[in-house]
Amino acid sequence: MLTLYDVTLGSRLLLGTARYPSPEVLIEAVRASGTQVVTVSLRREAAGERAGQGFWSIVRDLGVRVLPNTAGCHSVKEAVTTAHMAREVFGTQWVKLEVIGDDDTLAPDGVALLEAARVLCAEGFEVFPYTTEDLSIAERLCAAGCRVLMPWGSAIGSGRGLNNLFGLKALRARLPEVPLIIDAGIGAPSHAAQALELGFDGVLINTAVSQAADPIGMARAFAQAVVAGREAYQAGLMEPREMAVPSTPRVGTALLR
């Protein structure tokens, strides 16, 4: 079980709702994934009144929790304003906080992210900040009131998996009690399994599912990968070795002369 801001979830897979081929495919992918949380962009919801109402109706009918995000925001003011609008539209204190600092990599702006997080936490929001593996920023976000962090695996939509294993392992070790959800860059179920094997608490997937040739099948694959990764972590992975170690003992084997 995964607990995020006192909400207990049965799935460690969070799913984005952008860029699916059709609403019907989105619905079936969410069901196949077994997720209990989907992210929703306020910008997409508000893009057109009738279209927005239709999309929101689809999400409500899925029976899952909604995690609105501030995707596309580049400043503290923009992110805070968007979060307020999202709370009004979606009726939740949850917000995935994104403050982009670089348009090429879509890397978060750590300074602006921290400032926006302080404002929103003080106003009663339950903030899920999209951040990097930077330890100092992570600790400051926790001090500001964030009880969940969402470090990236690699650049949004890149599908490159976990680029900085050393940094992510250090982050996991530094904050053992904080739920950490890998967000961005996951491109294959094996990447998701690896994240869970490292001790991360969950993954958020969008592009790898929505842009797959078969989004529904891919959603199902990610669901299985997350379960396998978590079970492997709990079972205890073997440590890598420099030299071969025979699996069959030599004691008792025949000696031929």
Decide if 131 contacts 137 (C-beta within 8 A).
yes
Residue partners of 160: CB distance under 8 A and separation at least 6: 153, 154, 185, 187
Catalytic residues: 96
Decide if 179 contacts 3 (C-beta within 8 A).
yes
**Quick one: tokens of 137?**
């920023």
How many Å separate Cα 8 from the centre of its chain?
A: 16
Distances, alpha carbon 111 to alpha carbons 92, 131, 140, 182, 183, in Å: 25, 11, 10, 20, 19
